[in-house]
Structure 1
């Protein structure tokens, strides 16, 4: 059945698959501390054109982050919210008006190297006053988020260094990314974009993320801290390497090799 619930070219079965995908990727994002949004974006690229995909994904991730924030509010590092929000507003509006020239493959390569350096150099990830550091990170992460989809991956190692346990990491990550998504939506005027026909699907997928958060939170509580940190480090390393390989492929540096 096409146009299920009035959503253009989306059948009942595709709707079910996307809702399940939102649930699973959100669960994985909760128990690993990163990557859930990227995994969902990768799934959605097969079914939606870019002008629809970007605002849809942003709204869904906003719903996922907000529900996780409310579920785990007692763990959130609340002192980081205001400086990060101020930085996000500046970064979003700067990105919407300024960024025009840097090739995407160069940006991906820089991100990949930077993530690895911060991940394996703890002093760099924890350098400077914490509130100032996250104010700057809010600007940089939101600025980058307008052009690449890896900003959660970019932010994760800094949150890992600032969090003494996995609950603080996951809840603070969700809160700060929700702020970043709101800033992007306002800066680009996505709220006014013509995605009204997709609203039923967006709502269902957000409900799927709520279920994923609920299951993930309970799994996280049972997970040993050392295991969480190890999974986080391995997964973030793989994501950073993926960025580097993608940048090399886009730049043509691996032509003739792969």
Structure 2
């Protein structure tokens, strides 16, 4: 049999995870694309990625593997924009992250299907188009509760990104602090998944090659997305951010209705 470089490359991709080489390659490319989307628009990449991963991965591996890939993507974005991170907001968010992670490790079950998605969608839509949250929500206590609730949801259903973005949106009118602080908060959340799913007995080693390749591709995508972000005006970024959140909320609404009807 004649040697062919594509065959060898496909064999390497086969070794990344229990999935086929072609699926592994698709997920690596998608990681770069979705990281670029999150860096340029501020939100949406993680949700798009988990939608595709849910079609090709076993349910038991979906949230932990997605969490580790998003840890790399958001961590890279936080490092690249560290000067713009609001450290006071991050400091208020982190204790809630710890509390939410401990609760998730104790209650690692799926919450009622349908209801959760509809609640998240309603929260996001109100944040984008409603009259605004009470000023108390913007203080440390509200940020602490947001950190705890969204970390718990992130470990249970992997859908906290729109919630965290909706909270962060209330604090900033400028794009770079919004993107940087969101990335830092999400990095902290996804870091807890190593603890939560490690306690639950998930074997990360089987998926390590795929996770590392997706993280590397995500860093390249983040760098490209940030270059695009610097070219966007503040007004255009704000419009894109709001509509990206709205589309994600509409998708969650549709999923929630489908799951309620199925139940």
Q: Does residue 179 of structure 2 align to residue 163 of structure 1?
A: no
* Root mean square deviation, CA, Å: 2.3
Match of 1:184 among 190, 193, 203: 193
CA contact (8 A) 1:2 1:9 kept: no
- Name the CA distance, whole Å, in 2 between partners of 1:30 and 1:55: 22
Q: Which residue of 2 aligns with 1:65?
A: 74
- 5 Å matches for 1:106-185? 106-121=115-130, 123-124=132-133, 126-185=135-194
Q: Does residue 226 of structure 2 align to residue 224 of structure 1?
A: no
1:12 Cα offset (Å): 4.1
Q: Which residue of 2 aligns with 1:251?
A: 260
- Name the CA distance, whole Å, in 1 between partners of 2:248 and 2:49: 14
Three-state SS of the structure 2 residue aligned to 1:162 is: coil
Distance verdict in 2 for CA 1:126–1:104, change over 3 Å: farther
Distance verdict in 2 for CA 1:41–1:162, change over 3 Å: same
1:185 Cα offset (Å): 2.5
Q: Which residue of 2 aligns with 1:200?
A: 209
- Name the CA distance, whole Å, in 2 between partners of 1:226 and 1:137: 26
CA contact (8 A) 1:92 1:146 kept: yes
1:190 Cα offset (Å): 6.1
Q: Does residue 45 of structure 2 align to residue 45 of structure 1?
A: no
1:245 Cα offset (Å): 1.5
| TM-score between the two structures when normalised by the length of structure 2 | 0.88
Q: Deviations for 1:213-240, whole angstroms, at most 9, x for unmatched residues?
A: 1011111011011111111111211111
- Name the CA distance, whole Å, in 2 between partners of 1:47 and 1:93: 29
What is the aligned residue count? Answer: 254
Unaligned runs of 5+ in 2: 1-9
Q: Does residue 95 of structure 2 align to residue 83 of structure 1?
A: no
1:104 Cα offset (Å): 2.1
Worse overlay, 92-101 or 115-124: 92-101
1:11 Cα offset (Å): 4.3
Q: Deviations for 1:11-56, whole angstroms, at most 9, x for unmatched residues?
A: 4443332221000011111111111111111121222111222211
Distance verdict in 2 for CA 1:31–1:8, change over 3 Å: closer
CA contact (8 A) 2:92 2:144 kept: yes
1:99 Cα offset (Å): 6.8
- Name the CA distance, whole Å, in 2 between partners of 1:123 and 1:252: 31
CA contact (8 A) 1:125 1:161 kept: no
- Name the CA distance, whole Å, in 1 between partners of 2:109 and 2:203: 24
Three-state SS of the structure 2 residue aligned to 1:150 is: coil
Q: Which residue of 1 aligns with 2:105?
A: 96
Worse overlay, 42-51 or 56-65: 42-51
